[in-house]
Amino acid sequence: MPIEACHTISERLRQRFSTARSVFVLTGAGVSAESGVPTFRGGGKEGVWKGLPFSVISSAAMVERDLPAVWEWFDYRRDLLEKLKPNPAHDALARWQSRFENFTLVTQNIDGLHEAAGSNDVLELHGNIWRARCLECEKREDLRGCDNARPPVCQECGGAIRPDVVLFGEMLPPGVFEEAAERASQCDVCLVVGTSAIVYPAAALPEIARAAGAFVVEINPELTPLSAMCDEVIQGKAGEVLPLFEI
C-alpha cells in the first residue's frame, strides 16, 4: 500500500489511470467540505439544531411526526448551500466523464455540486437536497421550481411532498446501490475520494471493485479503515490531488 504525498501521483498510478477503460469514483463528505459545505457533525459528537439532534430532525420518524419541521431544517441547509460553488475536485471529475470509455461517479453527498460542475448521470446514494418526492405518488420535483409553501404540494396528485434524501431509519433509493455495485464490479480503476468508506452499503463498493480485480486508490487527508486494502493511498485534499491526474 504505497502512500504518496498530496503533491505527487506515482508513475504506477499514472499508467493505470491513462490506460483504464472503465473508471469508478466514490465521493463523500470530504469533497463537499472543500467547497464549504457543513458536515453537521464534528469531533465525533452529533450536532443539534433547535434542540433536536440531527439524527432526529433528519429522520423518517420526523417526516411522519412533523413534516413542516423537517422542511424548516432542510430549507436552512439549502440556504447555506445556495451560495457555494464546486471546487477543483468537482471540476476534475466532470472532465473525466468524457475521458474514459466508461466512467461512473457515485456520491454519498446530497448537495448537487457534482451536477453543478457539469457531471451527468451521477449515482446519488443518499438523494439530492434540491429535489422533493411526493409521499403519495412518489413523483419527484425540482425544488427550484416549487413555490415556498411548506410542506409543498405535489403538482401531480396534490399530496404532501418531502425532501428527496435518505433520512435516518431509511433504506437507499431502490436500484441505486445495485447499479453502483454492478459498475464497481466492471471497473479497471476505483477511486475513493473524501470518505472514510466505513458505512455500509457504500463501503462495500470499493470491496466489490477490488474483488473484481480493480486497482483501488484512496484519496483522503487522513488514513482510514479502508486504507489497508487499497493499492495506493494519497493523503491530501481532493481539490489538490484530482487535478494532478490531468498534468
Give residue for cell 431509519. Answer: 169
**Residue 11 grid cell:** 508513475
- Please report the DSSP string for 4-56 in residue order: E-TT---HHHHHHHHH-SEEEEEE-HHHHHTTT---SEETTEE-EETTEEHHH
**What are the CA-CA distances from residue 220 to residues 59, 139, 223, 237 (Å)?**
28, 37, 7, 6
User: Pairing between strand 232-235 and 140-142?
Assistant: unpaired
Rounded CA separation 227/176 (Å): 25
List the catalytic residue out of 7, 90, 114, 126: 126
Rounded CA separation 28/15 (Å): 25
Rounded CA separation 220/89 (Å): 12
**What distance lies between CA 95 and its chain's CA centroid?**
17
- Would you call 7 a catalytic residue per the annotation? no
- Which residues sit opposite 1 in a β-bridge? none
Which residues are part of the catalytic machinery?
126
